[in-house]
A and B are shown apart, each in its own frame.
Chain A
Amino acid sequence: MSSNDHVNTHGTAGEPDPSSHHAPGSFPHILLFFIIGLALSLVVGWGIFPKLLYSQKSQPFGFSHKVHLEQVDQGCQSCHFFREDGTFSGSPRLAQCLECHEEMQGQSEDEAIFVKEYASKGREVPWLVYARQPDCVFFSHTAHVLGAKMDCVTCHGHIGTSDSLKPYEENRITGYSRDIWGPSLTGLKHNSWDRMKMDDCAECHAKYDVLHDSSVQTKRDACFVCHK
């Protein structure tokens, strides 16, 4: 190429040669190609991939924590309580719901679905649990709520005053709820309940490291405290 250029410029001295302008002229094209590629990757990475990564599922029927919290006496513990063996009940079973909802209490469509599809047929409601941790995690509600005297909001946010259930987003690769990674793709968080990865658990455990130092190797909590 360079030898051709040299011959050309030598042979037709003084005349502008269209082919010699071609090489510098192609540079912006490559840059444009690069920019388009970059923009495309960003659109795919930040826009399309996250949409594809999470599948959206809706709960069996709508539920208002706010309405229920106004009706019960013992706050969250009215439905989410500790069993006698120290385990936590989590999402209520049908039996707890039936204590009040044997028959329709109001006129809402959601309650009609519950009574017709689940209560009258004796079927458990297949709730999708937003806060379910991966299988290798052992989480003790008693240790946190009774031992460390933490409130529900610290990890679960203001779900108790919400009027509806958000769609459950499941990571198609891991099968975990989006609440584990958190809503922000960048992994930034503003509230303590935004996400609940191991780092988020460890953040608090490290803050109280006087109590959490049983591992000889890490001087933090031993692995067999939160793992199983």
Chain B
Amino acid sequence: MKQTQTQNQHRPKRYGMAIDLDKCTGCGSCMVACFAENNVPFKQDETDKLLSITWMRVYKITNGKKFPETEVCYLPRPCQHCAGQHEGHSPCVSVCPATATDYSADTGIVSQIYTRCFGCRYCMAACPYHARYFNWWDPVWPAGMERYLSPNVSPRMRGVVEKCSFCFHRYQLARDKAYLEGKRAVSEAEYQTACTQACPAGAIVFGDLNNSEHAVYQIVQPDAHNHYKSKNPYAFRLLERLGTNTKVYYLSSREWVRKAGDNYLANEEPGASHAPNQHG
């Protein structure tokens, strides 16, 4: 076994997100910011939401009760950047026949390389979160809008799958600056996603889940010995019991919201059951 830097010489980063659903108002700023930041294509007619490409999508959930007990919660859903049970065994990555998507042990980010993807959409079938989208058409920008596209994000073509990258290009640019200033580490403020910065309620917190100085670590309190399960009683992950070991944590003080994050039986407590292959 060769000695590798990533595995032995420094503690890798683990970029993740904590989204406070009690703060989220469902305004959709994160979605708009994401569209603009990542050159996400849109069509003239976006009425069929099954064909819409939304790296960040705000879902509306309700407790299903009648007035006056009705409650609504909005749930923003970026790519969850699953680590799986073996750190790098994401559902999408493990099925891709082209290695068009891979898992970085350095950042914990699941990549998507458009020029490598040939559009079989196996990853979309594998993703439990519907976070991946297929380009059925080449993007058509309204006249003049191509001048407003971000040069830091490669636009996609017809026939490939795309998804949220945790604004990885921002990490690349932050690293460039860090190199110029003598190979120092990228600080928390230097790498933030567009949705995090756009949220007017401050509901999204982004940072390194392995760095105890980062706000996201302090909120989530991930248990590194238990597949990064949160020690915060108000935190949950989507479909946590699948064992996808995602890096997007949701927070809510409302039990029905926490229960909506997974398929629980009527009399089951949220978080009561454990992920498969859980040690201890």
The interface of chain A, by Cβ under 8 A from chain B, is 82, 84-87, 134-136, 138, 140-143, 146-147, 209-211, 213-219, 222-225, 227-228
A223 to B176, CA, bound (A): 17
- With A213-B4, A215-B105 known as contacts, the answer to whether A134 contacts B115 (CB < 8 A) is yes
A87 to B107, CA, bound (A): 21
Smallest CB gap from A134: residue in B: B115
- In residues 3-33 of chain B, which contact A (Cβ within 8 Å)? 3-7, 12
Contact indicator A140/B113 (Cβ below 8 Å): no
A227 to B110, CA, bound (A): 12
Contact with A222, one of B3, B5, B103, B175 (Cβ below 8 angstroms): B103
A171 → chain B closest CB, angstroms:
15
- With A214-B6, A218-B99 known as contacts, the answer to whether A224 contacts B154 (CB < 8 A) is no
Q: Is B200 an interface residue (CB 8 A)?
A: no
B16 → chain A closest CB, angstroms:
16
A216 to B111, CA, bound (A): 11
Contact indicator A86/B152 (Cβ below 8 Å): no
B interface SS class: loop
Q: Is B93 an interface residue (CB 8 A)?
A: yes
Contact indicator B179/A215 (Cβ below 8 Å): no
- In residues 161-195 of chain B, which contact A (Cβ within 8 Å)? 165, 168-169, 172-173, 175-181, 183
Given contacts A86-B177, A223-B113, 20 further A-B contacts (CB under 8 A): A84-B180, A85-B177, A86-B179, A136-B113, A138-B169, A140-B172, A213-B6, A214-B12, A214-B105, A215-B105, A216-B88, A216-B89, A218-B99, A218-B102, A222-B102, A222-B106, A224-B107, A224-B109, A227-B111, A227-B115
Contact indicator A86/B6 (Cβ below 8 Å): no
- In residues 81-140 of chain B, which contact A (Cβ within 8 Å)? 87-89, 93, 99-107, 109, 111, 113-116
Contact indicator B93/A217 (Cβ below 8 Å): yes
A222 → chain B closest CB, angstroms:
4
Q: Is B153 an interface residue (CB 8 A)?
A: yes
The interface of chain B, by Cβ under 8 A from chain A, is 2-7, 12, 87-89, 93, 99-107, 109, 111, 113-116, 152-155, 165, 168-169, 172-173, 175-181, 183
A interface SS class: loop
**Chain A residues positioned under 8 Å from B7 (CB to CB):** 213
**Chain A residues positioned under 8 Å from B6 (CB to CB):** 213-214
- Chosen A-B contacts, 7 in total, with CB atoms closer than 8 Å, are A85-B173, A140-B176, A209-B2, A222-B105, A223-B102, A223-B104, A224-B109
Contact with B180, one of A135, A142, A219 (Cβ below 8 angstroms): A142
Contact indicator B169/A217 (Cβ below 8 Å): no
**Chain A residues positioned under 8 Å from B105 (CB to CB):** 213-216, 222
Contact indicator A87/B154 (Cβ below 8 Å): no
Smallest CB gap from B89: residue in A: A216
A73 to B211, CA, bound (A): 44
Contact indicator B104/A215 (Cβ below 8 Å): yes
Contact indicator A210/B172 (Cβ below 8 Å): no
Smallest CB gap from A224: residue in B: B111
